[in-house]
Amino acid sequence: MSLEPGGVEQDTLTIRLADRRRPRRRRPSWALGDDTTLAIRLPSRGPDEEAVSELAAELADRVGPAVHPYEVAALLEAEGLPASLIKERYGHPNLFSLASALYQQVPRTFPEPAPTADPWRPDTVRCLLRGVLFALPGLAYLLTAPLWNPGAHAPALIVAGLVSWAWGQALGHRAHLRMATGRREAGRTLLTGAPIGAVVATAVAALLAGSGAVTLVAAAQSAYLAAAGVLLVLGRERQLLAALSPLIAGAAVLPWWEPGPPLRAGLPLLALLATLAVTGRTLWTTRSAPAVPGARRPHLLRSLPYGLFGLAAGVLVLLEGRKEPYAVIVLTVSMGPAEWLLYRYRGLSVAALRAVATPTGFLLRSAGILVLCLLAYLLPLLPAALLTDADPTPLLLLAAVLWTALLLQAFGAAWPSALICLAAAGGAGAVTLLDLPPGDLALPLSCGAAALCLSACALRLLGRPAPHA
């Protein structure tokens, strides 16, 4: 059924006479003498091609992107073109006829959309500051080292640190899930989870501690990691830096002045108290945010792979730190640029969606972006490792594992990254603990295999347009 009004009857003035006689069978069109219809045909004027061409040139930029003549008809109607003008000036019987003529006359053009702002543009200062904040707590051990025996009591602090790291990763993920509901709900999650994590880490350390003093140090370490995790999740990096200023000042004067035991112990304690105070104030401010009624809490198992990844990453970093402690400092500081590159990867992937038109083209572009970001992260670590007299191979492979796993986690693929990192950490840890072959090569071999598996998972998952849309 035609949707366009008019037809051949527009060119014919038909006067139909009433016929009460019995209807007869219709005769073919070539038959002569149809006495039921008296037809008077009026002369018709054809389209004015010159006027139509002028209109097409005037509206070419808007007619070209049309995919159907009806779009051109809607454009003409929006322009307020009256039916009388269509007939008198352009010689077309109706709007749709003129639209079809314009559609056929103007070539199809599909211009690219205007460029938009990058939705994943990273905050460079914030990312660099976070990398520095990850490394600054190590100054506390530098200040307090003469007051106790770090080598003898290191296992308790290391185990407490691993538990805090794993708990903090899982809690941070859960808080971000709650942040999608509201800031008040995220603050409530952190207020409940952070103290529990500090208590669990301290209890585990107490099982290995030989004295109450070591347990107190482990408790201070666990409390700081829990409080700092809260501030980082809520975006309070500058407040955390201010709270650590006594620690920074004490470590800065060590090359020229011996502060003595009171200051060596007091400055880290002051930084801890300031961090706890800032954390408490920040959590209190979240209570002023409006509550979201009926909000559902995410299942706890959704955050489990993030905690397992935190545990595996901690073990891998610990194995690297046994041989190259300064390389671990370099790796810790590099977590800031690593976060910046995660944002850049997402921004470049969104731009690739506009640049290619086939799935294969996007897969190739995505692989190039992955290699580019990995090289941008790993290449600066090479001179840093050489400056610290560290073997660059294990450091670079470990850095590749951590960055690729974080990339998968950023897109919600937490289980593959957690399981692959757990396998690498378990294999390298077992070889090191039991002193099995290949010995020192266990860590680079495990990290190399994990990096290949994680890269394959990243290409398989992120080489499709859907995760970036």
269 close to 220: Cβ distance less than 8 angstroms: yes
Burial class (CB in 10 A: 0-12, 13-18, 19+), 42: exposed
Q: For residues 89 and 267, which has the higher predicted lDDT (pLDDT)?
A: 267
Per-residue pLDDT tens digits for 201-214: 999 999 887 777 88
Closest CA to 136 of 341, 332, 324, 403: 332
243 close to 273: Cβ distance less than 8 angstroms: no
| Cα Rg of the chain, angstroms | 36
Which residue type is seen at 309? F
378 close to 399: Cβ distance less than 8 angstroms: yes
Give the dihedral sign, CA 101/106/110/113: negative
Whole-angstrom distance, CA of residue 247 vs CA of residue 409: 33
Cα separations in angstroms, 184 against 174, 233, 237, 282:
13, 13, 19, 11
152: which 2 tokens?
């003898």
Q: What is the pLDDT of residue 260?
A: 86
Q: What is the pLDDT of residue 30?
A: 25
Whole-angstrom distance, CA of residue 120 vs CA of residue 352: 13
Whole-angstrom distance, CA of residue 311 vs CA of residue 304: 11
Which residue type is seen at 451? A
Residue 276 CB contacts under 8 Å (≥ 6 apart), including other chains:
223, 227
Q: What is the pLDDT of residue 83?
A: 83
Whole-angstrom distance, CA of residue 127 vs CA of residue 313: 20
374 close to 404: Cβ distance less than 8 angstroms: yes
- Has residue 120 got a pLDDT over 60? yes
Residue 83 CB contacts under 8 Å (≥ 6 apart), including other chains:
94, 95
The percentage of residues in the chain with a pLDDT greater than 70, rounded to a whole number, is: 88
Whole-angstrom distance, CA of residue 390 vs CA of residue 15: 102
Whole-angstrom distance, CA of residue 55 vs CA of residue 64: 13
With cut-offs at 50, 70 and 90, classify the pLDDT of residue 290.
confident
Q: What is the pLDDT of residue 18?
A: 41
223 close to 198: Cβ distance less than 8 angstroms: yes
Q: For residues 139 and 18, which has the higher predicted lDDT (pLDDT)?
A: 139
In this prediction, residues 235-252 reach a mean pLDDT of: 93
Out of 251-265, 316-330, 400-414, give the one with best mean pLDDT. 400-414
Per-residue pLDDT tens digits for 306-316: 999 999 999 99
Tokens 């914030």, residue located: 126
Per-residue pLDDT tens digits for 384-404: 998 888 889 999 999 999 999
Q: Cα–chain-centroid distance for residue 393?
A: 29
Q: What is the pLDDT of residue 113?
A: 66
Detail the DSSP E strand segments found in 4-110. Answer: 12-16, 37-41
Whole-angstrom distance, CA of residue 419 vs CA of residue 427: 12
In this prediction, residues 410-438 reach a mean pLDDT of: 92
207 close to 299: Cβ distance less than 8 angstroms: no
Closest CA to 234 of 288, 167, 283: 283
